[in-house]
Chains A and B, each alone.
Chain A
Amino acid sequence: MGNKVVTFTHEQLDNYQDCTFFNKKEILKVFKKFRNLAPELIPLEMTTPESVKIRMPKDRIVKLPELIENPFAERVCESFSKDGYGNLNFEEFLDCLSIFSENCPRDLKIYYAFKIYDYDGDDFISESDLRQVLKDLTKNELTNDEHQKITEKIIEEGDIDNDGKLSFLEFETVLKRSPDFINTFHIRI
C-alpha cells in the first residue's frame, strides 16, 4: 500500500466530491477511464496543478466507449470544454460525467442538454440547430422535406413566444414534462 502512487491528494478528492455528484470511489473510476484514453498524455499522479490542466484532444475523448456511438459526442465535448474546441482536461471530463450521472438533478441536466443541442452557440435552438440534431439522430436518413416538417412541428410545439426558435426557458418547459429525459440523458459509469 505504501508504494502506491497517490493520484489525488485528499484535498483534491474532497473538492471534487463537493463539486460533482460522485463519491471518491467513482471519481477514481472516472480518472481511470480518462487516463485509459491516452495513457501517454496523462500522468498517474495528478497532484500538481499543471497535470490537472492537461487537455485531452477531442478526437480522443470521442473514442470513450461510453461516447463512441453517441451522435452528439462532439457536441458533448464542446459543451463541457472551456476552450470551446472540445478538448477537455480532467476536471471538465469529470464535470461532464457527473452531469450524466444518476444523482444529478434534472434542471442541471436540462441546462447542459440545451448547450449540447445548441450547435451554433447563440443561446437559442433555432431551425438550423434542429436540422443538425435530426441529421445526427437519424444518420441523415430523412429527406429535406421531412426535416422541414419536423423542425416546424418542434418549434410549433415548444415555441411559446412565437419567435421561431426555442429559448432556454422554452426548452426547459418542454423537457420538464418529458418523462424519458431523465432516463435517456444518463451514462452509467
Chain B
Amino acid sequence: MSGGKEKKSSRSSKAQGWEEAGSEFYQESYPGDQMDNIHRDPSKLATLLPSKQRVATNRRGRQAQEFKTTRRRNSTLTATRTFRRGSHYQEIQVATLPDLSENLINESQTWEEIREIKAMPVHMAQKRELKNQLQNATKLRLQGFEQIKWKRRKAWQKIMTKWSEYLTKMELWRSSLKTIEGNFGTGVVAYFVFLRWLMVLNLLIFTIIFMFIILPQLVLIEPKDLPCDPNAPPVFDEKRSTANESIWIYANTSVQCCRETYLNEIKHNRSEFSILHLFQGTGFMEKTFLFYGMYTHQIYGYDPLANQQQQSYGSNSYNEGTSFMSNRNLDNFIVDENNSTNNNSTPFMNALLNFSDNNNITTTDLTNFTTWREFFSKLDIYYDLPLAYIIVTIVCYLYILVSIVKAVAHEFKDRLVEGEGQFYQYCNLIFCGWDFSLHNQKSAQIKHKALFNEIQGLMHIKRYEFERNNRTRDIMFKLILIRVLINILVFIILIVCAAVIFILFNISLSVIEPNFETVTRYRSFNVFMGQIKKFSSGTSELDQQFKILFYEFLPYLCIVIFNLLVPILFNYLIQFEQYSPLFVIKMNLFRTIGLRLSSLAVLISRFYYLISAKNENSNTECFNESYGTPMCWETFIGQQFYKLFIIDFATHILVTFFVNFPRAMIARHMNNAFARFIEMDFELSKHVLDVVYSQTICWLGTFYAPFLPAIAAVLIFFMFYIKKFACLVNSKPSTILYRASRSNSLFMIILLLSFSISIIPVVYAIAEIMPSRSCGPFRGLNSVWERAINAFEKLPKLLQDIIFFFGTSSFAIPCFIVLILFLYYYYSVSAANKHMVQVLKNQLVLEGHDKQFLLNRLSLFIKQQQEYQKRIQRQFYDQASTTTNSQQSQGINMDTIPPPLLPRAPRSETGSNDRSERSSIEIKHHSRMSKDIGDI
C-alpha cells in the first residue's frame, strides 16, 4: 500500500510542479532580459516549456521532499526519487552552495546519501566530488542507540558487498550464460537461468531430506525389532475392524514377519551385482537408502525389545510395532524408561529429538567409542524417523510451492504493469527491441531481421484483423470445421498414446512379474502375452536378462518416443488451423503438455491399479500376490520413477548428440533446400517442456525415492551442458523474438501447473493408500497420514483443542467473512486507483492541450510585438521627417492590434476547469501587458 501512496504523492507533486512551473514561467519570463531573447528568436520559447523547467520545479519539490527523501532508507529507488537525486546534484551545481550546510544532517544520513550517489545520472568525476563533499561536510554525530543501529547497518552492508563479491566469484556458469546471451539473446538465456534455478531448488530440497531423513538413518543405530514368531496367536486389529467384521492379523503377516520375507527375497533373488541394476534401481540398488523400502519404522533410541520385556506379554505383542505407535502415549514410555527427572511431556516437535541429560557422557568416554554409531547409541537421542519422514515431505513440497509461487507472483506483478503497456506496442518494440547483450555477428543479423519482421508484422496486424473479420461465411464455416476436426484428431491421438502406453505396461509387467498373468481381467491379453513370453524366453542367461531389461523399459521407451514424435505431428496439424502465430505457440505448448501429462497419468493409474487392489486374504498374506502387487510397492514405484527419469535423461543425450548434432552438421555443410529443411531453430517452449517434465517426474517420485532430488540436481547440472550444446552447436538463433519477460512467466506457469498436478497423486497416496506391510517407515499402518494423526494425538490437550478450533465452523465463518471484507476493500481500492489513473491521464492530456494553446497564443503575440516594434521603428524614422503626425499614428496602432483571443470554453473535467480559467486570466493579464507596452 505504501508504494501506491508514494506513487500517488509523487504524481500529484509532479502535477503541482507543472503548475508551479507554469506560473513561474509567466512571472519570470516576462520582466527581465529573457524578453529580448524571445523577441529575437521565438523558437527559444521552447526552453521555457514546463518540461524544461525541471530544475526549478524540483528545487521546490525537493524542499518539501527533503525530509522524506533522507528518511527513506532502502536503496530501492522510486523513479521520482532518482530523478530528484539527479536534479539535486544539478541543483548543487547551479546553486554552488549545497543545501547540506543549511540543515545539518547526521552521519547515518550522510552515509545513506553516499550510498545513493551511484544512482545519480552524472559523470563519475562529479559523483566523486559529491562523495568528497558529503564526507567532508560537517555532520552531527549519532549517539546512543542510533549510533549502534547505524553501525549495525553499515556492518551489514559491508558483509553484503563481501558476499556479493564472493558470489560473483562462485557464480555457476557465468561465462556460459554470457556466451549464450551473446549468441541467442536474453530470452534464451532466461531458460538457462531457469535451469540453474531448478538445480538449486533440487539441491535445497535434497539437503533438507538428507539432514532429516537420510543422515539419521545412516548415523543412528536402528533398534532391533521384535523377532518374527510364526507360531504366535493372531492379533485383533482395532483400526481396521468395523462393527460388522473383525480383522485379525495372523502371525505370518505381522509387520516383522513380512519384513523378514521381504529381506529374504531381496537377499536371495536380487543380490548379484549387475550394471543393469544401476539403471533399473533393482537388485543391490533396492537394498540401498535410495528407495523408500529401506527406511525404518522404528524410533531411534527406543528399543521395542526392551520395552516388550517390561510389558506383560499381551495379545498385542506381535503387532507391537504397529500398536505402540497408534495406541500408546510414546512419550510417557520414554520418560518412564529413562527414569528421567524432567517429566515434562515433550510436545510434538520435541518428540523428534529428545536429549536426555540423564546419561552423562564425559569427554573421556568419548574416546572409548570406536565409531560414531556407538557414540550415538550411548547418547540418548530419540528420533522418530517415520514422523520426520512425513514432516520433511510436507516441508519440502511447501517449500517448492512457495518458491514457485513467489517467482510467479513476481512475474505477475510485472505483467500487471505491462498490462498498461499494450498501448505502447510500437514504443516497446523500438526502444526495447534491441538486445544490448548480443555480440555475435550472425545472431545480430538475425536480430535485425527479426525486428524488421516484427515491425512489419505489427504494421500489418491491422490488415490481418481486417481480413479475419471479413471472412466470408463459407470460409469461416470451413475453418471452424477444420479446427474442430483437428482438435478431435488431437484428442484421438492423445487417447491412442495413452492406450498404447497402458497396453505396453501390461505386457512388460506380465513378462517381469509372473503372477500378473493370473489376473483374470486381462485374459484377452493372455494369449498374446503367452506368445510374447515364448519369444522372451531366450536361450542364454544374458539373453534373458537383456530381454527382461527390454520389457522393463518398454513402456518408458514408448513414452519418450511419443514425447519426441507426437509434438512434430501436432506441429504439422496446427498449420491447417490458421491461428495467429502467437496463439500457435501457446496451442502447441498446451497440447504437448497434455500429451506428457496424459502419459504420466496412465502410468500412475496403472500403478494405482496394481497396489490398491483389495486383498481378500489380507490376513494371511503380506501382499496381494495373486494380483501382481509388488512386495514393497513403494519401492517399486520409486524404481519406476527412477527408471523413467534415467531414460528421459538418456534420450536427451541421444537426441542431442546422435540425432540433432549430425543433422546440424549436415545442414551446415550443405547449402541447398534440404539443408534448410533440416536446420533447427532453438525452440524454447520444447526445451522448457523437457525440463519441466523431468522435474515433474522427480516430484512424483520424491516420496518413494528420497534420493531423487539429488539425482535430479546432478542430471540437471549435466542437462545444462547438453542444452548448451543443443543451443550453441545444433541450432541457429530463432527468428521468433523471444522476450525474456514473456518466456520467464511461461516457464513458471508451466512449472506451477505441473507441480500442482504432480502433487495430487502424492497427496492421495499419503492420505489414502495403505502402505505395504513389509517395508518402509509406515509399515503396518492403514495410511501414511495415520502416523501424523497419531503424533497429533500426543500433543497437549490445549494445543489439540486450538488446532481443532481452526477446523470448526465457529472459526471458519468469521474468518471467511473477514477475508471477503478484505477482498472487497482491496478491490475497491484498486478500482479507485484505476479511476484516479484515468482522471490523471485526462488531466495530463488537457495540460498538453492547454500548453499547446498558450504557446500558440504566445508566439502570435510575440509576432505581433515584433511587427509592432518594426512599425514603431519605421514610424520613428517617419517621425524624423514628419513630426506632426506622430500622436495620431500611435492611436491608430493601438486599434490595429487585436486583443488576443480568449481561450476555448472551460472543459467539463474538473481538473482542467481552474487550469483554463487560470490561463484565461493569464492571457488577459498579458493582453493588458501588451497594451501597457503599446502605451509606452
Cβ B79 vs Cβ A162 within 8 A: no
Cβ A137 vs Cβ B433 within 8 A: yes
Q: A108-B82, A108-B121 are in contact. Are A161 and B444 (CB under 8 A)?
A: no
Q: Complex: how many Å from CA A163 to CA B439?
A: 37
Q: Which residues of A contact B433 (CB under 8 A)?
A: 137, 184
- Binary interface encoding of chain A residues 160-189 relative to chain B, with 1 for a CB under 8 A from any of its CBs, else 0: 111100011101101111111101111110
Which of A67, A134, A176, A188 contacts B430, CB < 8 Å? A134
Q: Complex: how many Å from CA A133 to CA B741?
A: 23
Chain A residue at minimal CB-CB distance from B167: A23
User: Does A41 count as interface, using CB distance less than 8 angstroms?
Assistant: no
User: Does A31 count as interface, using CB distance less than 8 angstroms?
Assistant: no
Question: How many B residues touch the partner, as a band?
Answer: 35 or more
User: Does B746 count as interface, using CB distance less than 8 angstroms?
Assistant: no
User: Does B421 count as interface, using CB distance less than 8 angstroms?
Assistant: yes
Q: A21-B118, A23-B164, A160-B844 are in contact. Are A72 and B79 (CB under 8 A)?
A: no
Q: Which residues of A contact B127 (CB under 8 A)?
A: 18-19
The interface stretch among B367-375, B451-459, B502-510 is: B451-459
Q: Which residues of A contact B448 (CB under 8 A)?
A: 71, 137-139, 141
The interface stretch among A1-9, A32-40, A93-101 is: A93-101
Distance in Å: Cβ of B781 to nearest Cβ of chain A: 50
Distance in Å: Cβ of A159 to nearest Cβ of chain B: 8
Q: Complex: how many Å from CA A149 to CA B458?
A: 11
Q: Complex: how many Å from CA A42 to CA B725?
A: 37
Chain A residue at minimal CB-CB distance from B163: A23
Q: Complex: how many Å from CA A18 to CA B113?
A: 10
User: Does A44 count as interface, using CB distance less than 8 angstroms?
Assistant: no
Q: Which of A117-164 contact B (CB under 8 A)?
A: 117, 123, 130, 133-134, 137-139, 141-142, 146, 149-150, 153-154, 157-158, 160-163
Chain B residue at minimal CB-CB distance from A168: B51
Which of B190, B432, B849 contacts A178, CB < 8 Å? B432
Which of B165, B182, B427 contacts A157, CB < 8 Å? B427
Q: Which residues of A contact B431 (CB under 8 A)?
A: 113, 117, 133, 171, 174-175, 178, 181
Distance in Å: Cβ of A102 to nearest Cβ of chain B: 11
User: Does B434 count as interface, using CB distance less than 8 angstroms?
Assistant: yes
Cβ A163 vs Cβ B848 within 8 A: yes
User: Does A107 count as interface, using CB distance less than 8 angstroms?
Assistant: yes
The interface stretch among B338-346, B412-420, B632-640 is: B412-420
User: Does B440 count as interface, using CB distance less than 8 angstroms?
Assistant: yes
User: Does B161 count as interface, using CB distance less than 8 angstroms?
Assistant: yes
Q: Which residues of A contact B844 (CB under 8 A)?
A: 160-161
Q: A179-B421, A188-B177 are in contact. Are A25 and B459 (CB under 8 A)?
A: no
Q: A92-B123, A179-B741 are in contact. Are A185 and B848 (CB under 8 A)?
A: no
Chain A residue at minimal CB-CB distance from B427: A174
Which of B79, B441, B451, B739 contacts A172, CB < 8 Å? B79
Q: Which residues of B contact A175 (CB under 8 A)?
A: 427, 431-432
Cβ B121 vs Cβ A141 within 8 A: no
Residue of A175, A178, A180 ringed by the most chain B CB atoms within 10 A: A180
Q: A19-B124, A149-B459 are in contact. Are A176 and B739 (CB under 8 A)?
A: no
User: Does A17 count as interface, using CB distance less than 8 angstroms?
Assistant: yes
User: Does B789 count as interface, using CB distance less than 8 angstroms?
Assistant: no
Q: Complex: how many Å from CA A183 to CA B107?
A: 36
Q: Which residues of A contact B423 (CB under 8 A)?
A: 157
Q: Complex: how many Å from CA A160 to CA B426?
A: 15
Chain A residue at minimal CB-CB distance from B174: A188
Q: Which residues of B contact A172 (CB under 8 A)?
A: 79
Q: Which of A11-53 contact B (CB under 8 A)?
A: 15-21, 23-26
Cβ A178 vs Cβ B427 within 8 A: yes
Which of B420, B435, B443, B742 contacts A177, CB < 8 Å? B420
Q: Complex: how many Å from CA A122 to CA B424?
A: 23
Q: Complex: how many Å from CA A176 to CA B421?
A: 9
Q: Which residues of A contact B451 (CB under 8 A)?
A: 137-138
Q: Which of B389-439 contact A (CB under 8 A)?
A: 414-415, 417-418, 420-421, 423-428, 430-439
Q: Complex: how many Å from CA A15 to CA B133?
A: 13
A-B interface contact total, Cβ < 8 Å? 211
Q: Which residues of B contact A188 (CB under 8 A)?
A: 174, 177-178, 181, 437
Q: Complex: how many Å from CA A180 to CA B185?
A: 12
User: Does B125 count as interface, using CB distance less than 8 angstroms?
Assistant: yes
Cβ A111 vs Cβ B168 within 8 A: no
Q: Which residues of B contact A92 (CB under 8 A)?
A: 123-124
Chain B residue at minimal CB-CB distance from A134: B430
Q: Which residues of A contact B425 (CB under 8 A)?
A: 157
Q: Which residues of B contact A98 (CB under 8 A)?
A: 118
Cβ B131 vs Cβ A137 within 8 A: no
Cβ A181 vs Cβ B432 within 8 A: yes
Cβ B131 vs Cβ A186 within 8 A: no
Distance in Å: Cβ of B421 to nearest Cβ of chain A: 4
Which of A23, A91, A106, A168 contacts B125, CB < 8 Å? A91
Cβ B161 vs Cβ A17 within 8 A: yes
Which of B168, B424, B435, B455 contacts A174, CB < 8 Å? B424
Q: A69-B441, A141-B452, A174-B424 are in contact. Are A184 and B434 (CB under 8 A)?
A: yes
Cβ A72 vs Cβ B186 within 8 A: no
Q: Which residues of A contact B428 (CB under 8 A)?
A: 174, 178, 180
Cβ B123 vs Cβ A107 within 8 A: no
Q: A178-B427, A180-B432, A184-B186 are in contact. Are A142 and B86 (CB under 8 A)?
A: no
Q: Complex: how many Å from CA A113 to CA B434?
A: 12
Cβ B741 vs Cβ A180 within 8 A: yes
Distance in Å: Cβ of B114 to nearest Cβ of chain A: 6
- Binary interface encoding of chain A residues 67-81 relative to chain B, with 1 for a CB under 8 A from any of its CBs, else 0: 111111000000000
Q: Complex: how many Å from CA A76 to CA B666?
A: 40
Q: Which residues of A contact B421 (CB under 8 A)?
A: 177-179
User: Does A66 count as interface, using CB distance less than 8 angstroms?
Assistant: yes
Distance in Å: Cβ of B56 to nearest Cβ of chain A: 15
Cβ A111 vs Cβ B852 within 8 A: no
User: Does B847 count as interface, using CB distance less than 8 angstroms?
Assistant: yes
Distance in Å: Cβ of B82 to nearest Cβ of chain A: 4
Q: A138-B452, A162-B848 are in contact. Are A183 and B131 (CB under 8 A)?
A: no
Distance in Å: Cβ of A73 to nearest Cβ of chain B: 10
Distance in Å: Cβ of B130 to nearest Cβ of chain A: 9
Q: Complex: how many Å from CA A24 to CA B420?
A: 39
Q: Which of B500-543 contact A (CB under 8 A)?
A: none
Cβ A184 vs Cβ B435 within 8 A: yes
Q: Complex: how many Å from CA A161 to CA B424?
A: 16
Q: Which of B841-884 contact A (CB under 8 A)?
A: 844-845, 847-849, 851-852
Cβ B848 vs Cβ A161 within 8 A: yes
Q: Complex: how many Å from CA A162 to CA B854?
A: 13
Cβ A177 vs Cβ B426 within 8 A: no
User: Does A84 count as interface, using CB distance less than 8 angstroms?
Assistant: no
Q: Complex: how many Å from CA A174 to CA B190?
A: 24
Cβ B424 vs Cβ A157 within 8 A: yes
Q: A25-B169, A138-B455, A139-B448 are in contact. List 8 more A-B contacts (CB 8 A).
A: A23-B164, A95-B123, A107-B119, A150-B426, A158-B427, A162-B852, A178-B431, A184-B186
Question: Could you pull out 8 A-B pairs where Cβ atoms are within 8 angstroms?
Answer: A18-B117, A138-B452, A138-B455, A141-B452, A161-B51, A167-B51, A180-B740, A188-B181
What is A's interface to B at a CB cutoff of 8 Å?
Answer: 15-21, 23-26, 65-72, 82, 91-92, 94-95, 98, 100, 105-108, 111-113, 117, 123, 130, 133-134, 137-139, 141-142, 146, 149-150, 153-154, 157-158, 160-163, 167-169, 171-172, 174-181, 183-188
Q: 3 shortest A-B CB distances, which residue pairs?
A: A161-B848, A69-B444, A177-B421
What is B's interface to A at a CB cutoff of 8 Å?
Answer: 49, 51-52, 76-79, 81-83, 86, 114-115, 117-121, 123-125, 127-128, 131, 161, 164-165, 168-169, 174, 177-178, 181-182, 186, 190, 414-415, 417-418, 420-421, 423-428, 430-441, 443-444, 448, 451-452, 455-456, 459, 739-742, 844-845, 847-849, 851-852
